[in-house]
Structure 1
Amino acid sequence: MTAASENWTIASAADAARARALLARLTAEAGVPALDRARFLTALGGRLLRGLDAGATELTVTTGVGRELRVALGGPEPWRHTLVCPSPVPGPLPRLDEAPLAEALLGADEDAAALLSSLAETEELLRIHREELHQTNQGVLALHAELEAAALAQRELLDAERTARAEAEKARRLLTFLANASAVLNASLDHDDILRRLPELLVPEYARHVDVWIVDDERTPPGERAAATVTAARTGRPQHAGRHLAELPGVDDLPASALSPDRPLLCLPVGARTVQGVLTLAAPGDRFDPDTTVMLLELARRAGIALDNARQYEQHRDVAEALQRAQLTELPPTPGLALAARYLPATHGLNIGGDWYDAFPQPDGSVLAVIGDVTGHGLRAAVIMGQLRTALRAYAFEGNGPARILTLLHRMLRHQEPELYATCAIARFTSGEPGVVWAAAGHPPAVARGPRGEVRVLEAKPGIMLGVPMPYEYEEHTVDLPAGSTLALYTDGLVERRSAGIDTGIDRLARAMGALRTEDLADLDAAADSLLKPMLHDSEHDDDICLLLCRTARV
């Protein structure tokens, strides 16, 4: 039998009666027992009447493949019901207007008669059961003691179930705390931040007091340590110190500590490969719970991994920072040109990048001022920055100008480091000439301040970034720079913020340059510091910052 469906619109009580009569006929022909049929029709009739209060509703009747009859009622209270019939529902399904109202009323009486007959049979069965119950009353009394025993056993089972559920909930809570605490510890790569967060996580729920002792670390505050703490550091095994044996899993018992005679101590070694220190917890109550202790042992292990990661991160950062600062040039004395530079690492993440500045004389006596930025952060960026700086100096000592130097650097980087890019700007100052020759490779524009305070941005379009996989020849630009002028070269970390575009930062730098007085520029180092203050008022920057100021001497 294929599926069939019919939609009936129920707009009045008469429609509801017809729908009930049609469904009564269908279910009767499909062999649905009278009692099930009465329950179904009663439930349907009540919902049809409530649906009429909201207006017309749609009743969808569907016969599926097999013996299913599905009814779906729309309206403000949707209702769906599936009736599995003993026999297939005969088809096709009738329309609503095919059920005369009189037939609907008589059909309801037939259903009531069938129900009454069923009730009469039930009453007869109840009478027979009453007689049987009366006859077996003495037997029930004899079984009373056994029922009490069964009830007691059931209560014991329920108590055991409650205990099991409580233990499961406790385990869930401990695992959730462990997962959340691990996420907090692993989110930080700062050694001191991890040490600060441990007590915040554990007090007061899991410990009344927490002490973190990092062995051979001068940053750990000095203080008197419990004997159990020292033993845990020496043996690498967790220790419990209290007046009574705790017999905690995986933990050795020691006598109560003189530093905490009334409250037990739990001393947990911390370390990934070796013992770095000990986490000492004073019990939040009279004793430590065994299940909680297992969780604390795992937390101490994970804290050791987080501390080890932070230590490796700091070592990597220190190496990169030392390498980068070793390659930042000590600015040379240059007659007729004052120089000042500043380098600030990023305040977030691995705060060492590929920003650099340089200044040096060429064989013909001119001075090159250089600013650059290698993409990325970390040790690799610092190493590539050093290679570019060395290559740039070599090309410059061959007598090449700014544009030719950038072209050679682009060619070198494109072939040696095809997945790495850099920006760079070079300005050449020649004694006796009022202008400056410059070229840029994808670098932010320089900002020039004239001797009378007028400020302009050198907005000539720069060339592509160094290392972009395509051949490119860079162009030189010449701009007048009268004596007493100041040229600011910088990396994008000075002017770019997540909350604003780079153009906004360049405008702010230009305003800061214009706000400097002539007497402020007499000390160029102090002027560099004054220039950074309005640019870094928020104290937070996601990238390295390099600033190189070049001031031509007044005649």
Structure 2
Amino acid sequence: MPSHLSADRPPAQPPGRGTVDALITQARRLKGEVDAVRREAEGDGSDPQGRWERALCDLALHQLSDLDEHLAQLRDGPPPVPVAPDAVTAAKAPPAAPAGAPHGSLLSRVGSAEWNLLTDEAGWSGELYQILGRDPAAPALTLDELPSLVFDEDRPRLTAMVTDCLVDAKPVDGEFRIVRPDGAVRTVHMMGEPVLDTDGGTASMWAVLRDVSELRRSQSAVRETRDSLHHHQHLAQTERRLAVELQEAVLPWRGSLRLPRRGGPALDLAAHYLPASSGPLIGGDWYDALELPGGDTLLSVGDLTGHGPGATSAMAMLLGALRGMAMTGTGPGRLMGWLNQLLDATVQPALGSAVCCRYRPATRTLVWAQAGHPAPLLFRSGTGRALDAPEGVLLGATSGAAYGQAEETLDVGDLLLLYTHQLVLRQWESPRSSEAGSGGGRAAVNRLLDLAPRFGEARGAQDCVRAVVEEFGTAGREDDACVLVARVTS
């Protein structure tokens, strides 16, 4: 309701109806677009970012609904004031709400009041009775009685606002919570001004009170989902940092390596880890090369299911066990069997694939085994082929599995390429499609075999790895991958 001080000024002219109608149309169009965005953001509620996006959309819809109703009231003008025989009495009593105002409309959420300090009388609009849950037949509460509806912890705030208004003529602008007779808790926003008499003293105070409970609930939901999203992102960043640090501590080397280190026939080695194109977590992929007693070299590449510190720590355990058992002189097939038993006995079940090779430089003999893993590729004289794979199932898939061995004699200049599934898979292919008998598997192998001319021109294993990374490093992989290249030297 307007301040009495404006009685000596001409009333403000309402804006043109056409202009307000245009604003209403724009607000409703925007509301429909926001509602469409919210429907697109609907999910199962497990994604913190999705919950945050839906909460923001809900808040925007609440605010746009309020804007639509405010504009409608602006267009239609104030409700009619009933004619009273006593003009002074009519001025003291705020206008009643129109009959039949729909529940939940603007008029049921915004009320007005005036407290006369000279007569200690109070006048409330019908809407304010609805907001506060009071019987319209009951007398309006005075300023001294109003705090009885307010939460104990909010009463000092209300008292301070009213005191500043009455004593220092400051405008009222603040919120407090009230408890309705039915036990419902509502949040009310109050705005008002003092009405001064001719001597400059405060004669009365008028206020507009708005029920902002739904708006505050929506804002609270946005804050909570935002905090949950930030917490989720912080955990994801921490997990990635731990996984990266553990992986860097476990993977044996970066760049190139020559084994055995003493003179004579050896392998020129290079390897590379390729992170996933999307997703923040590190998986359980590994590559390894280890000099064994007697001058033999152990080569291995593998992948464990899962991501994050759990998968990386399981990979570290498996790789440590593989190294330790290989130092005893155990053959690749037996090593795969023991690794399978180890995964089968772990508290948290996991699956893994691996290929393990033992190279004897004195005879240039390669003995190898695999567990559900792509066979090594052998490049010789400008062409390449996949080695014939011995029998072997995924690690951890079944108890007591047996793993076969295969043997291959290598020539000086031969190049071996070991890799994990996701190196050559596109986003729409699954790891199962890389099995040798499938069309997807043959296509994936052919992509690598097509690099044979570049390998033939390479000066060493490091150049070969670089060629692989240039070809596959930007592919749309959903998982990380590893590649290991070993070149036979004289």
After TM superposition, the score normalised by the length of structure 1 is 0.49
Q: CA deviation at 1:199?
A: 9.4
Deviation at 1:389, TM superposition (A): 0.6
Q: Which residue is 1:506 aligned to?
A: 444
From 388, 412, 424, the equivalent of 2:318 is 388
| Inter-partner Cα distance in structure 2 for 1:338 and 1:468 | 34
SS in structure 2 opposite 1:443? coil
Q: 2:244 is matched by which residue type in structure 1?
A: E
2:258 alignment partner, SS class: coil
- Residue of structure 1 aligned with 2:226, choices 278, 303, 323: 303
Using CA pairs below 8 Å that are at least 6 residues apart, which structure has the higher relative contact order? Answer: 2
Aligned partner letter, 1:300 = R
Partner Cα separation in structure 2 for residue 492 and residue 485 of structure 1:
23
Kindly report which structure 2 residues correspond to 1:289-328, keeping only aligned pairs within 5 A, or say none: 291-328=214-251
Match of 1:545 in 2: 481
Q: Classify 1:533/1:203 alpha carbon distance in 2 versus 1 (closer, same or farther; 3 Å).
A: farther
How far has the Cα of 1:394 moved from its partner?
Answer: 0.8
Equivalent in 454, 463, 487 of residue 383 of structure 2:
454
Q: d(CA) in 2 for partners of 1:182 and 1:340? A: 45
Please say if residues 418 and 469 of structure 1, whose CA atoms lie closer than 8 Å, have aligned partners that are also in contact: no
Counterpart residue number, 2:465: 528
Quickly say closer, same or farther: Cα 1:194–1:176, change in 2 above 3 A.
closer
SS at match of 1:348: coil
Residue matched to 1:263:
none
CA RMSD, Structure 1 to Structure 2 (Å)? 4.1
Distance change (3 Å), C-alpha of 1:301 and 1:196:
closer
Shift of residue 490 of structure 1? 0.7
1:463 corresponds in structure 2 to 392
For residues 468 and 179 of structure 1, do their structure 2 counterparts lie closer, same or farther at Cα, with a shift above 3 Å needed? same
Residues 462 and 488 of structure 1: is their aligned pair in 2 closer, same or farther, counting only changes over 3 Å?
farther
SS at match of 2:317: helix
- Give the partner amino acid of 1:528: V
Which of 321, 333, 357 is the equivalent residue of 2:258? 333
User: What 5-or-longer segments of structure 1 have no aligned partner?
Assistant: 1-168, 208-242, 254-286
SS in 2 for 1:448: strand
Alignment partner of 1:247 is 2:168: no
Shift of the 523–416 alpha-carbon distance from structure 1 to 2, 3 Å rule, reads: same
CA distance in 1 between counterparts of 2:375 and 2:382 reads 18
Give the partner amino acid of 2:415.
T
Partner of 1:411, secondary structure, is: helix
After superposition, residues 16-165 of structure 1 pair within 5 angstroms as none
Q: Deviations over 1:139-159 (max 9, x none)?
A: xxxxxxxxxxxxxxxxxxxxx
- Per-residue deviation at 1:360? 0.6
Letter in 2 for 1:529: R
For the residues of structure 2 that align with 1:441 and 1:296, how far apart are their CA atoms?
A: 54
* Equivalent residue letter for 1:434: R
C-alpha displacement of 1:195: 10
Contact residue 421 and residue 465 of structure 1 kept, 8 A: yes
Counterpart residue number, 2:287: 357
SS at match of 1:333: strand
Opposite residue 346 of structure 1, the aligned amino acid is A
Following superposition, the deviation at residue 470 of structure 1 comes to: 2.9
Cα deviations by residue, 1:226-266 (Å, 9 ceiling, x for unpaired): xxxxxxxxxxxxxxxxx97653567999xxxxxxxxxxxxx
1:508–1:535 Cα contact (<8 Å) kept: no
SS in structure 2 at match of 1:516: helix
Question: Are residues 294 and 441 of structure 1, via their aligned partners in 2, closer, same or farther at CA, if it must alter by over 3 Å?
Answer: closer
CA separation of 1:175 and 1:437: change in aligned 2, threshold 3 A: same
User: Hey, what does 2:423 align to over in structure 1?
Assistant: 494
Letter in structure 1 aligned against 2:404:
E
Contact 1:421 1:466 survives alignment (8 Å): yes
- Measured at CA, do residues 345 and 397 of structure 1 come closer, stay the same or move farther in structure 2, by a change above 3 Å? same
2:46 and 2:466 map into 1 onto residues whose CA distance is 34
Q: Are the structure 2 counterparts of residues 358 and 302 from structure 1 closer, same or farther at C-alpha, using a change threshold of 3 Å?
A: same
Deviation (angstroms), 1:406: 1.4
Instruction: Please give the alpha-carbon distance, in whole angstroms, between the structure 1 residues aligned to 2:32 and 2:58.
Output: 14
Q: Does structure 2 retain, via aligned residues, the 8 Å contact 1:439–1:475?
A: yes
* TM-score, scaled relative to structure 2: 0.55
Q: Which runs of 5+ in 2 are unaligned?
A: 1-27, 65-169, 178-186, 190-209, 435-440
Q: CA deviation at 1:292?
A: 3.8
Give 2:372's match in structure 1, choosing from 415, 436, 442.
442
In the alignment, is the contact (CA less than 8 A) between 1:337 and 1:550 conserved in 2?
Answer: yes
Distance 1:178 1:530, change over 3 A: closer
Secondary structure, aligned partner of 2:314: helix
Structure (1 or 2) with the larger CA radius of gyration: 1
Q: What residue is the counterpart of 1:479 in the other structure?
A: 408
Give the whole-Å Cα distance in 2 for the aligned partners of 1:495 and 1:174. Answer: 41
Find the residue that maps to 1:548 and give its secondary structure: strand
| Contact kept in structure 1, 2:34 and 2:61, CA below 8 Å | no
For the Cα contact (< 8 Å) 1:341–1:549, is it kept in 2? yes
Corresponding residue for 1:423?
A: 353
Task: Give the distance between the partners of 1:519 and 1:330, measured in 2 at CA.
Answer: 25
Contact residue 186 and residue 306 of structure 1 kept, 8 A: no
Distance 2:375 2:406 in 1: 12
The answer to whether the 8 A contact 1:178-1:299 is kept is no
Matched residue count: 313
1:342 shift after superposition = 1.0
Any conservation in 2 of the 1:185–1:303 contact (CA below 8 Å)?
no
Q: 1:182 to 1:297 in 2, by over 3 A?
A: farther
Please give the alpha-carbon distance, in whole angstroms, between the structure 2 residues aligned to 1:365 and 1:186: 57
- Whole-Å separation in 2 of the counterparts to 1:526 and 1:252: 71
CA shift in 2, pair 1:200/1:436, >3 Å: farther
Q: What amino acid is the match of 2:388?
A: E
Q: Check whether the contact 2:35–2:61 (CA below 8 A) recurs between aligned residues.
A: no
8 A Cα contact 1:449 1:485, kept in partner: yes
Shift of residue 443, structure 1, vs aligned partner: 0.9
Alpha carbons of structure 1 residues 376 and 505: separation in structure 2 relative to 1, 3 Å: farther
Hey, what's the Cα distance between the residues in 2 that align with 1:196 and 1:322?
33
CA distance in 2, matches of 1:387, 1:291: 53
Aligned-pair CA distance for 1:464: 1.2
Matched letter for residue 378 of structure 1: G
CA 1:362/1:199 → structure 2, altered by over 3 Å: closer, same or farther? same
Are residues 182 and 513 of structure 1, via their aligned partners in 2, closer, same or farther at CA, if it must alter by over 3 Å? closer
SS in 1 for 2:235: helix
Where 1:427 maps in the other structure, the secondary structure is strand
Superposed CA offset, 1:33-55 (max 9, x none): xxxxxxxxxxxxxxxxxxxxxxx
